[in-house]
Structure 1
């Protein structure tokens, strides 16, 4: 590090000297680069085109940022695709290294190659929103931040780390909600990373993101949160390629949790931040073994998980932190510390009997503002109230529902455990989710064996300001309830019992109407204009790798285009063949087992609207299944195992046909 260089000096002023003095070499610079996007690739294939296209759309000028693509020894055409993309994009740089087996090594190589004042680590199959780099960089400069959390949008799953996504924060509490997010999809001051020699673990390791963030967060002086601007689209794929979906080997996986806590301990030292990191880590660990699936495992497998997680608790979660844990997590941590697997599994079983479902009790329109009241009760899976006891002014779990001998202090609910509820709106096509103004109230009511709790939330959705002061965009926005009881957080669709009770005001001036969709009557705000007819597929066929559709009414040429959502990524298709005004054909090559394809029509007026389908399941072209969803929308699925069955059927037909031919010859 150059003499006098401090972690708080301006990286921009350093770069304006037009030299780079990190990584053991010196490089002349011809321009100031604000941001370097670092991407590790491996057998990415066509998915890299989507990422690069999103970078082409950035509002930050291409002269102000660069993209460093480091290929980790791909065995397909990925490297050729990267070099082809870089051929006419001077700000794209391609590096190729021998396969290391994990993202750590290529990310480190990319960091050593980076010239930007700030760096962003992107996954090779995700994408950026158009203003992402410009807005994150502006936030970093305005707040002199070492790290900026841009808004994450996750398709295929709920928005992660929701408490971080509810408001912009110039200077965040370093022991607060920012500790929830350990993924590396953030903007970092490069000089800060270099000053502390922060790098990724290399080789085939687990939780390399957690290890990296354990080096970053204790050292950061300023962390900013940009929740009002969608920045990064984290695509959760249904084809089994997400690393987070791979099967966990307890003896291999859980020690990596301990290793990242060791880094926290070494870097942060004793204090509030280390304690908060320990609490967040152990709380998040329980999401890796959901009670139902966990209890369905064989006893020997459950013991392997129990022993592995117990080792983390014994070393990193001291008993004095227990009282700060949500009650159900507290009981599990205590059982782990005591080595009592039966008590641990009793709490797991208790958690699996708890449920909550939102229901609307009031809905009203006032011009362009929708008001609704939603109620949520803590119940058992049988629909009966989940009973609690009182211990003075505190609520506690009933002694009969806990492991034998559990003290009242261990059974005591935190104030937040009693119940919270908030309403959000989520764009169905992209997964974009916004908080709306919500006020909740807790009700504690007598019941047969103690007390029961429910929470009521009144929400106001101003269509002109619902997206952090901006209007909701065109499309279909589902109403969601984010609820928390006993420290367990869930997101559920808001539904109405009787759709006939919904107000009929279509708010035509704002282009929205409220509808109940599907058999469960889930509430959705949609921009489909009143009286407009939904485009439906009246006939669907799968031929080879092409989907043939007959649509009624016909799409309006020049205004409505076909859009395909595949592996949770939406693309407008320009390769649609029109065989007649109402018949179209689109190629969908290389479907993977379990992959689902949704078909929509996109227009400027109505956004993205799913094509309807009322036909029966079509099994005539196995292994591809064509069917109607609960919302009567068209979906196409490549059935797992169906390909093998189809192959067996073809083999049987060939054998049968050959046998018949032989018999005819003999006859």
Structure 2
């Protein structure tokens, strides 16, 4: 059983959407519960919560006094929970139908004390992109904090109670200090990336990434307090390595000089050193300075690197041996205070690996592929910056966990790790025109999304080279078997002779059709018949809706057939 702990404060209709998505779970209602803990709402909200409780046996409602915090609400919910696992979620989230069932099964199978689920949404994807290419029943030490510093983490309730672990800060659902304390007591941390848990509509507000100056000071206080409560030397070392070494470069160096030895010890330790490749280039440079005691230099680097921005400018793409070869060029805009003539900076950027991959922007992480990347200083632009080029081979039959991409539209994207102090950007790749191709008996098109960026259309779900045709692309021949229509597809290619079975629709009438593709071009053939009239022609050779071709079949009263523009 899993208990969802939901801090509530004046949610409006959002709480109804959350509860409705819980009702649609594949996990039986008896196997999960919603613990709604109000911490300061008005009377209409309390009435709404009571109405939800009366209608559902797996809903518990608690009301805390005005002035209570999110942390108070989460901790009270954990105390009330009956589940083997507890999962704090925001009041504005929507759960995917199989999310709870799959996450709890994963956590139980692998004996996780902390099981990290994947959240998706307009604010940002959860779980670092480097962690989401496959499930991970046990994360390496240097990855645990990166994984747990995201919204959706299920905790084994017995583990929390055994060690007296509870939320420490009251600002939001993302309590980094609580996570770090958990990591000091367990290595049983797993990531379930195979299916999204929730669609986060309020991620930016509920889980802030960059804190204010005052909250940073509070965070450092929390760190010191957690250290005071952690007596075991080994646990203290893990806490320091995970929390301080990973977070110092995002939260800023502590103003309290008494904390400086603690930070330097943290970045010198073996576990912290493993973080370097994941945090390139800015955090790695800061860690180098701190290890050598160059505190002022580390602070200067942090200030200079604030405001880096990556921009994807242009791309080229072509099919080769069943894969799309993509080359992306872009630019990193840097502040004027950053002297790019510094050879150390240039070396660090040169070592930074840009990653290309594909993603379903709603429900999937970035599926990464090996990528070559090259850097150079941009000396011609008005604003200081760096130019980069990234090249990769995207094979639709192998890129999705080693297998083929499922049908649908997949965005080609570029991941630039470690450039921002807030989050690593995932950049859409600008559209590059290239023909539709046929791979493994299905259509794979390169199309532009609504934002004119590069997408794979797998299985003919959009235009896929079947639209924008003209009458001169067609031929009608009378044969003993009937009127045979042949349509040439100039934008569809195949590496070898391939045949797809599909359908052509004349208006509402559907006729079997065959698409024959090869290196020299492709064509569609079918037999046409019907009563007199004009019939728009559409085609389908996949899971998508029929694609309008831009053509019309006219059948005259005498039976003659003519192909016209739509």
Pairwise TM-score range, normalised by the shorter structure: 0.5 to 0.7
Q: Deviations over 1:49-78 (max 9, x none)?
A: 111121111111112122211222311532
The question of 1:438 aligning with 2:369 is answered: yes
Q: CA shift at 1:255, angstroms?
A: 2.5
Query: Do residues 316 (structure 1) and 262 (structure 2) align?
Result: yes
Report the TM-score when normalising by structure 1.
0.57
Indicate the SS of the match to 2:116. Answer: strand
- Asked whether the equivalents of residues 420 and 455 of structure 1 are also in contact (C-alpha less than 8 Å), the reply is no
- The equivalent of 1:137 in structure 2 is 104
In 2 relative to 1, CA 214–257 (structure 1 residues): closer, same or farther, beyond 3 Å? Answer: same
Paired residues, number: 448
- Give the 3 Å change call, closer, same or farther, for CA 512–76 of structure 1 in structure 2: farther
Residue 118 (structure 1) aligns with: 85
Distance 1:421 1:219, change over 3 A: same
Q: How far off is 1:482 after superposition? A: 0.2
- SS of the counterpart of 2:82? coil
Post-superposition Cα deviations, 1:536-565, rounded to whole Å, max 9, x if no partner, equal xxxxxxxxxxxxxxxxxxxx9xxxxxxxxx
Matches of 1:466 and 1:147, distance apart in 2: 26
Match of 1:155 in 2: 122
1:84-95 residue pairs with structure 2 within 5 A? 84-95=51-62
Q: Does 1:234 align with 2:167?
A: no
Relative distance call for 1:95 and 1:366 in structure 2 (3 A) is farther
In 2: Cα distance, 1:359 partner to 1:261 partner: 47
**Matched residues in 2 for 1:257 and 1:316: separation?**
11
Whole-Å Cα distance in 2 between the matches of residues 443 and 40 of structure 1?
Answer: 47
For the pair 1:220 / 2:186, whether they are aligned, the reply is yes
Contact kept? 2:118, 2:152, Cα under 8 Å: no
Task: Work out which of the residue numbers 48, 53, 71 in structure 2 matches 1:81.
Answer: 48
What is the distance in 2 between the residues matched to 1:58 and 1:378?
A: 43
Assess, with a 3 A threshold, how the Cα gap between structure 1 residues 313 and 505 changes in structure 2: closer, same or farther.
farther
Alpha-carbon distance in 2 for matches of 1:115, 1:85: 19
Give the structure 1 partner of residue 392 of structure 2.
Answer: 458
CA shift, 1:508, in A, is: 12
* Counterpart for residue 104 of structure 1: 71
Partner SS for 2:425 = strand
Residue 357 of structure 1 aligns to a residue whose secondary structure is strand
2:141 aligned counterpart, secondary structure: coil
Deviations 1:133-173, CA, capped at 9 Å, x for gaps: 11111112211111111122232334452222222111222
Change (3 A) 1:43 1:606: farther
Residue equivalent to 1:525: 456
Distance in structure 1 (CA, Å) of the matches to 2:53 and 2:144: 39
Q: Deviations over 1:348-379 (max 9, x none)?
A: 34664775536434332766x54434456767
Q: How far does the alpha carbon of each residue in 1:94-150 deviate from its partner, in whole angstroms, 9 at most, with x for none?
A: 222222342112222211211111111111111221111111111122111111111
- The CA distance in 1 between the partners of 2:121 and 2:402, in whole Å, is 18
Residue in 2 aligned with 1:421? 354
Query: Which residue among 397, 405, 415 is the counterpart of 1:482?
Result: 415
By how many angstroms is 1:269 displaced? 3.9
C-alpha separation between the residues in 1 aligned to 2:227 and 2:438? Answer: 54
Contact 2:125–2:365 (CA under 8 A) maintained in structure 1: no
The 3 A distance-change label for structure 1 pair 177 and 378 is: farther
> What is the match of residue 223 of structure 2?
260
Q: Rate the CA distance shift 1:133–1:379 in 2: closer, same or farther, 3 A.
A: closer
Q: Work out whether residues 353 and 381 of structure 1, in 8 Å CA contact, stay in contact via their aligned partners in 2.
A: yes
Q: Which moved more, 1:274-283 or 1:129-138?
A: 274-283
Give the structure 1 partner of residue 345 of structure 2.
Answer: 397
Q: Offset at 1:270?
A: 4.5
Gaps of 5+ in 1: 1-33, 287-305, 390-395, 399-411, 534-555, 557-603, 608-667
CA apart distance, 1:254:
2.4
Q: What is aligned with 2:504?
A: none
In structure 1, C-alpha distance between the alignment counterparts of 2:255 and 2:89, rounded to whole Å: 30
Change in Cα spacing, 1:359 to 1:259, as seen in structure 2 (3 Å) is same
Distance 1:529 1:264 in 2: 59
